[in-house]
Amino acid sequence: MTRLLTELRASQAVQPLLQAIPPEEALVFCRPDGKPWHPDHVSSTLRELVAASGLPKIRPMQDLRHTHATLLIGVGGVNVKVVQERLGHHSHSFTADTYQHVIPGMDEAAADRFDQLVFGEQAADASAEDA
């Protein structure tokens, strides 16, 4: 992702209209003149792309936000407090209540991790033998 954003920024740096914008005010995703896209334009464009792809209809902002949080917490193992701050929720308990229930296997993963922390290699060896 970092590579893609770096390449995007480099391609923008050679565009005359964008060269006049101070770096601290530059947007990553913007119109050709450097101004922000209107949120309705972004949503409608995404809906058109999804429809053209044959994928099921989504609510762009809500569903992408939900996917973002779920992947960070469940697959990425990111701390709920960090996800809460990214989403702007008022508390990490709200974030946990909203997103953790959709991730199967978290309790088992927590138990396995606890075994590894307490018993070290012995727990890892036992888990490998059980598999």
**pLDDT < 50: residue spans in the chain:** none
Query: What is the pTM assigned to this prediction?
Result: 0.52
pLDDT at 91: 93
Q: CA 72 to CA 80: how far, in whole Å?
A: 9
pLDDT at 12: 74
Q: CA 85 to CA 100: how far, in whole Å?
A: 16
pLDDT at 64: 84
Is residue 12 within 8 A of residue 28, CB to CB? The reply is no
Token output for 18? 């964008």
